Structure 1
Amino acid sequence: MKRHPFEPARLICGLAALTVGTAYGLDALGIWHAPGLWLFLAIPAGLVLSGITAALWATVRRHRSQNADEPPISQRAEAA
C-alpha cells in the first residue's frame, strides 16, 4: 500500500462528521436526546477548526521545507 501524507485537517473534519452522525443516530434510536443547537453548530465549528488546522499545518510544512533546503549550521560555519 502506498503511504500518504498525514493531514490533520481531514482527521478533524472526519471526526466532527462522525460525531454528528453518531449523535443523530443515538437521537433517532431514543438513547440520547441531542440538543438541536449543538448539532446545528457542530459541523460549522468542525469545519472552522479544520480550516485553522490546515492553515497551521501548511505553515509548519512550508517552514520545514525551507529549513531542509539550508545546510546544517556546522556546514554553514565552515563555508564562511
Structure 2
Amino acid sequence: MLRHELHPGKLVAGLSLLAVAVVYVGDAGGAWEAPWFVALPLVMVGLLVAGVAAAIHGIRPHGAARRSGRARGGEEPRE
C-alpha cells in the first residue's frame, strides 16, 4: 500500500467539523441542548487552528525535504 503525505490542516479541519456534527447529533438525540449559533464559533476556531497547523507543517527545515527523498522545491534529486 502506498503511503500518503500527512496534511495536518485537513485533519484538524475535518475533526472540527466532526465535533460540530457530534454537538448537533447530541442535541437532536436529546442528550443536551445546543443553541443554533454554536456552530459558527466552533467552525471558525477549527478553521483557524487548521490554518495554523498547515502553516506550521509548511515551515519545515530544508533537510526534511531531502531526507524524504525529494530535493528542495519539490524537484527530483539530481544524481
SS in 1 for 2:59: helix
Q: Could you list the per-position Cα deviations for residues 22-80 of structure 1 after superposition, in whole angstroms to 9, with x for gaps in the alignment? A: 101110111111244432200011011101111110002656227x56xxxxxxxxxxx
**1: distance between equivalents of 2:63 and 2:55?**
12
Kindly indicate whether residue 3 of structure 2 is the aligned counterpart of residue 3 of structure 1.
yes
Q: TM-score, normalised by structure 1?
A: 0.70
Find the counterpart in structure 2 of residue 75 from structure 1. none
Normalised TM-score (structure 2): 0.71
Larger Rg: 1
Give the partner amino acid of 2:28: A
**Which has the larger share of helix?**
1
Q: What is the RMSD computed on CA atoms of the aligned residues?
A: 2.1
State percent identity of aligned pairs.
31
Q: What runs of 5+ residues in structure 1 fail to find an aligned partner?
A: 70-80
